[in-house]
């Protein structure tokens, strides 16, 4: 009888009243499938409701991967090719993920009423604390594209203690100047909203080539049932304030940052300028060849590899295996001068198809990576 009592006391997962082992397994499987599919939540903020989807469960002493998408997209159309990539699974099994949809961008979102005041990008950034409070998450690693990269940067400036790292793709930290406004207004006279947003997302070469990817995203944006909402998000992006980054000043990102842009992408010059304004000891610059305007869509393998090294540099995934990409090429380092006045050294990494691995950036230097 004593032995029987010991077995009952040490049962790790006691069944609920009336539950059989078979139904317990079914419930556990259903919960696991739900986590794989993601759990969608909405939370009220001072600037309206915001929707986000959570994948996985929080890991002890690890931040959440927190994504924010660009104009014309939602979290699925912006990030699914990246986070569903095979080598990315090693990363996401170690972190809980939160994918935010900007207000009115989530699937099935109703069109906002005429005259609705859409939040500014600063106000969208101010919604993030409400999300983290709802989830009881203390820190994040942000991954943002375009407008989403700006929003996460603005949040990191005002809440630096909650941001452990940032991956910023196609960030333009500058407000539009008068020349930009004139060009934007002129384009608006001859182009539809959908075409202007496509020109923001992709290079002219990509649009002219009209590949299957371009056809897919042109169809998504042109026939979006919430196109009026997308236009509001687009207007907020075009009315953004300057982030006023200053190397060595107070207005700078204090966490590790990886800047990413495609070669010949629409925002290449803006990202290069942003790199010149950030702390070179904290910043990595990844310029990706043959990736066009959306590297996370066209080169998810290369971006996954870079993200993995970024996380390793932050002290996570130290025992991670080398990816197929890093096993298949070698790295050569060349010195280059930095853009800023102090002329701190930069490192450019070029890769060939022979065996080898990517080296980590030496302390005190910006790593500029071309791949």
CA distance 273 to 365: 16
Residue 351 reports pLDDT greater than 70: no
pLDDT band at 352 (very low <50, low <70, confident <90, very high): very low
Q: Are 298 and 292 in contact (CB under 8 A)?
A: yes
CA distance 261 to 171: 8
* Residues 6+ away with beta carbon under 8 Å from 201: 70, 71, 72, 73, 146, 217, 266, 293, 294
Longest dimension (CA), the chain: 87
pLDDT in tens, 183-215: 555 565 557 999 999 999 999 999 999 999 999
The one-character DSSP state at 271 is: H
Cα–Cα dist 64/180, whole Å: 36
**Beta-strand relationship, 283-288 and 366-370:** parallel
Confidence of residue 302 (pLDDT cuts 50, 70, 90): very high
Q: Indicate if the pLDDT at residue 37 is higher than 50.
A: yes
Across 66-89, average pLDDT: 97
Q: Do 150 and 175 meet the contact criterion of CB atoms below 8 Å apart?
A: no
* Residues in Cβ contact with 322 at an 8 Å cutoff, skipping those fewer than 6 apart: 357
Residue 190, number of CB atoms within 10 A of its CB = 8
Q: Indicate the range of 36-50, 83-97, 174-188, 321-335 predicted with least confidence.
A: 321-335
Distance (Å, rounded) from C-alpha 121 to C-alpha 289? 30
| Nearest Cα residue to 123 out of 171, 97, 99, 158 | 158
| Helix, strand, coil content of the chain in percent (nearest 5) | 40, 20, 40
pLDDT at 183: 56
Size of the chain, expressed as the number of residues it contains: 371
Average pLDDT score over the chain: 81
What pLDDT score was predicted for residue 354? 32
Strand-pair category, 97-101 with 64-68? parallel
What whole-number percentage of the chain has pLDDT above 90? Answer: 67
- For the residues 236-246, what does the mean pLDDT come to? 95
| Separation CA 326–CA 124 (nearest Å) | 37
| pLDDT over 60 (residue 367) | no
CB atoms within 10 A of CB 116: 13
**What is the C-alpha to C-alpha distance for residues 361 and 368, in angstroms, rounded to an integer?**
9
Q: Phi then psi for 54, rounded to 5 degrees?
A: -110, 130
Instruction: Tell me what the mean pLDDT of segment 110-115 comes to.
Output: 94
What residues contact 282, with CB distance under 8 A and at least 6 apart? 253, 254, 255, 256, 257
Q: What is the pLDDT of residue 137?
A: 96
Going edge to edge, which strands form the sheet with 257-262?
Answer: 39-45, 48-55, 97-101, 64-68, 140-145, 163-169, 257-262, 283-288, 366-370, 345-351, 331-337
Mean pLDDT of the region 32-37? 50
Asked whether residue 365 carries a pLDDT value surpassing 50, the answer given is: no
pLDDT, residue 264, reads 81
- Among 243, 232, 230, 285, smallest CA distance to 78 is for 230
Q: d(Cα 62, Cα 309) in Å, to the nearest integer? A: 16
Instruction: Identify the band that residue 317 occupies on the pLDDT scale cut at 50, 70 and 90.
Output: confident
């Amino acid at each position: 009888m004593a032995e029987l009592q010991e077995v009952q006391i040490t049962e790790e997962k006691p069944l609920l009243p009336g539950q059989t082992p078979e139904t317990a397994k079914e419930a556990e499987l259903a919960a696991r499938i739900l986590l794989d599919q993601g759990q969608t939540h909405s939370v009220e903020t001072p600037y309206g409701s915001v929707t986000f989807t959570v994948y996985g469960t929080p890991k002890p002493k690890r931040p959440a991967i927190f994504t924010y998408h660009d104009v014309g997209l939602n979290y699925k159309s912006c990030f699914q090719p990246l986070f569903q990539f095979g080598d990315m699974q090693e990363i996401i099994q170690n972190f809980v993920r939160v994918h935010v949809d900007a207000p009115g961008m989530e699937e099935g979102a109703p069109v906002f009423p005429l005259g609705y005041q859409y939040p500014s990008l600063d106000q969208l950034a101010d919604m993030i604390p409400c999300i983290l409070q709802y989830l009881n998450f203390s820190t994040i690693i942000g991954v943002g594209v375009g407008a989403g990269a700006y929003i996460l940067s603005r949040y990191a400036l005002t809440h630096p203690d909650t941001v452990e790292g940032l991956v910023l793709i196609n960030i333009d930290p500058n407000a539009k100047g008068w020349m930009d406004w004139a060009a934007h207004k002129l384009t608006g006279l001859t182009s539809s909203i959908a075409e202007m947003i496509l020109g923001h997302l992709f290079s002219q070469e990509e649009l002219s080539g009209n590949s299957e990817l371009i056809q897919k995203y042109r169809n998504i944006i042109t026939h979006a049932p919430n196109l009026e909402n997308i236009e509001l998000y687009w207007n907020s992006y075009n009315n953004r304030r300057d982030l006023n980054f200053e190397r060595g000043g107070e207005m700078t990102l204090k966490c590790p940052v990886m800047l990413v842009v495609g070669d010949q992408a629409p925002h290449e010059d803006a990202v290069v300028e942003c790199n010149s304004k950030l702390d070179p000891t904290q910043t990595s610059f990844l310029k990706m060849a043959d990736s066009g305007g959306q590297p996370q869509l066209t080169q998810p393998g290369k971006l996954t590899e870079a993200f993995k090294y970024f996380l390793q540099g932050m002290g996570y995934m130290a025992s991670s295996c080398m990816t197929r990409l890093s096993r298949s090429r070698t790295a050569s380092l060349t010195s280059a001068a930095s853009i800023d006045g102090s002329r701190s050294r930069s490192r450019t990494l070029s890769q060939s198809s022979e065996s080898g691995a990517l080296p980590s950036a030496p302390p005190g230097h910006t790593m500029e990576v071309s791949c």
